[in-house]
Amino acid sequence: MRDLLITGSRLADGSSGDLGVSAGRFVDVADLTDPEYIDADGLLALPGLVDSHTHLREPGREDAETIATGTLAAARGGYTAVHAMANLQPVTDTAEAAEYLAGLAARTANAQVIVVGSVTKGLGGSELSEMGLMSRSAAGVRMFSDDGRCVADSLMMRRALTYAKTFDGVIAQHAQDPRLAGPGACCHESEISGRLGLPGWPAQAESTIIARDVELAQLSGGRLHVCHVSTAEGVDVIRWAKARGVNVSAEVTPHHLYLGTREVEGYDTTFKVNPPLRTDEHIEAVRAALADGTIDMVGTDHAPHARQDKDHPFDVALPGMLGLEQALAVVIEVMLNTGRLDWGGLVDRMSAAPARLTRSATQGRPIASGEPANLVLVDPSARAVVDRDSSASKSRNNPYHGRDLPDPVVATIWAGRITHRR
């Protein structure tokens, strides 16, 4: 791997200087040997982004995504690490499955793949998975989630939080009360769902589960992470829990920061996602919560689907949308360009905080000599119209297609290796 000399860039704090990379780490420029030059004049150098919530689909649904294509999309979006959710085929619910996924990633990935195990066997909700064995395996699993399904049983959730505490694990919950928002719920419960004739998904189906789970986290002393917060009510509960000292973190997706219920008016299944897109009051609430730190991080919930899984009536099509390649663009547009975050805040929400979630020793680190060389070079002024057909993903369910957004990522470097360069 050749040494790199990056010249002319600025850091998030406004400082500037040349950067040296050798053997996967940042080094003093004087220590480089025959480096490859990268002209970064006018660019920002930021720590590589970390996604707390990615669906890679491999093994099981390689027609929709593979580790190689999903992590290439991640690299194009500035990511040097992704947390790979457990709802694969087979489910990542054993040490063997976790090690198999880690082995696949070691051979084909374009970013670090941090394995997420399931909370319950087969995502069935009735029996805990091999969490302890997964944590002690070569995959070193630290986060567990049945994402796509809520751990609805209170006793099961308490046991999971209690057990994970013994090895500093975190339970990531898909907060959806199955009685208030059942399997058919697909549109935010509002005037729009009634007019369109789509089954409603009320905000309280999210907030009631979050309320229960923060109480269980306090009772057990375990670590709770709330996936894809989408409602003002959910934000209120998390803010209340943090004020009480509960060990809870939360993420918001780019699409819940940017898109709303009006997108479903045409029944375009690209915009079917779980939890659903919400109304303006909820969009404003999650933006404000990301700004003030109530919501700790951005998680893309990158969910690629093959065409045949989206080519159905709205209430039948599978939920989910792509997110990795445009996540940074959306956060720049709605949070940084509006003054709600500065570059330091963006780095915290998109790199440092998600790295802390699973205690990563190599990700979310500062750009400094001796640190792992995970880096994204950003052009803060570039813009482009999004074209879904140019995506690195195998799927095309991109909700940002045709929209004029920032086009920031010029290059991504993971462990000293260039994984994307415009």
What does the block give as tokens for 87? Answer: 């709802």
User: What is 320-352 written as a DSSP string?
Assistant: -B--TTTHHHHHIIIIITTTS--HHHHHIIIII
> Which residues, other chains included, contact 290 with Cβ-Cβ below 8 Å and sequence gap of 6+?
252, 257, 298, 335, 340, 341, 349
Q: What is the DSSP letter of 124?
A: -
Note whether 243 and 174 are within 8 A (CB). no
What is the Cα–Cα distance from 172 to 379, expressed in whole angstroms? Answer: 33
Specify which residues 117 forms β-bridges with: 144
3-state secondary structure of 172: strand
CA distances from 110 to 2, 76, 396 (A): 17, 10, 20
Q: Please say if 301 is a catalytic residue.
A: yes
What is the Cα–Cα distance from 181 to 367, expressed in whole angstroms? Answer: 44
> Which residues, other chains included, contact 136 with Cβ-Cβ below 8 Å and sequence gap of 6+?
95, 167
Query: Which listed residue (93, 177, 296, 301) is catalytic?
Result: 301
Strands 4-7, 223-226: pairing kind: unpaired
As to burial, measured by CB atoms within 10 angstroms (0-12 exposed, 13-18 middle, 19+ buried), residue 322 is: buried
What is the Cα–Cα distance from 214 to 226, expressed in whole angstroms? Answer: 9
The secondary structure element, H or E, covering residue 233 is helix 232-243
Strands 409-414, 417-421: pairing kind: antiparallel
What does the block give as tokens for 6? Answer: 């990056």
Task: Find where tokens 């415009």 sit.
Answer: 422
CA distances from 173 to 24, 213, 223, 254, 353 (A): 34, 8, 11, 18, 17
Q: What's the first-to-final CA gap in the chain, in angstroms?
A: 20
Specify which residues 30 forms β-bridges with: none
Active site residues: 301
